[in-house]
Amino acid sequence: MLTVTNLCKHFGGIRAVDGCSFTAEAGKITALIGPNGAGKTTAFNCISRTMAPTSGEVWLDGGRIDHLRPHEITAKGLSRTFQISRNLADMTVLENIVCQAPIRGWRGLMKPAMPPEEVAKAEGILEFLGISRLAHEDGANLSYGQKKLMDFAALLMSDPKIILLDEPAGGVNPSLLEEIIGHIRKLNEAGLTVLIVEHNMDLIMRLSHRVVVMAQGQVIADGPPEMVREDPAVLDAYLGGALEAA
């Protein structure tokens, strides 16, 4: 589904991403992990084109996308979340989600701001996530965890083929974390491909089919969670035994 080849992002003399290559197999959950500063989020930014890569290639479902603009990449079937919620605080949850629906052609600009079919779709997504009660709540009034769920809902409005989740468990309480894990698993079982950046090793080991480990901008390990868990280089040099304790 997604192929990243020799991806690089340099900031002056700093090589935040330095020849990074990996794949995310269709219908699987792939985790991208590593210590702080490893280049994971920068790689995400380059893949989604919220940041232009210095060099390298990104292919989605057989087509190259690293030259496209972010909205064009979304239209191709790739959507992402961010570590910090980017919701519009002066709009309701339902409005935040509906505004993420793609505009298809210039005629789409003539449609009502809240087309009935998009409202119905958003309400269905909220029901799936178990947060229908928040539909008419102002985005500014949500808890941190609720904002994470709203971002997740907005992600699904574009009918993506693959979703990139940037630390979905960060700052989330344990009970909500279990909900998020369940939602990701259900979506994956329905055929959605997932690429996830996360520091919660318990989540990664429980959820992922494959784990890619980055350090200093490069991929240092790639394989099933069980193999990565036992990789001495990952444990000793980069994660300080965090996987072993998970």
Beta strands in 76-192 (DSSP E): 78-80, 162-166
Domain span including residue 132: 2-245
For residue 88, the domain's CATH number is 3.40.50.300
Q: Which pLDDT band holds residue 194 (cuts at 50, 70, 90)?
A: very high
Please give the Cα distance from 164 to 74 (Å, whole number).
11
Question: How many domains does the chain contain in total?
Answer: 1
Supply the mean pLDDT for the chain.
83
pTM of the shown model: 0.82
- The whole-number pLDDT of residue 111 equals 60
Q: Which pLDDT band holds residue 238 (cuts at 50, 70, 90)?
A: low
What residues contact residue 191 under an 8 Å CB cut-off, 6+ apart? 27
Q: b/e per residue, 53-92, with b = 16+ CB within 10 A?
A: beebebebeeeebbebeeeebbeebbbbbbeebebeeeeb
What's the pLDDT tens digit per position in 74-101? 889 999 888 776 666 678 888 888 877 7
Beta strands in 35-190 (DSSP E): 55-60, 63-64, 78-80, 162-166
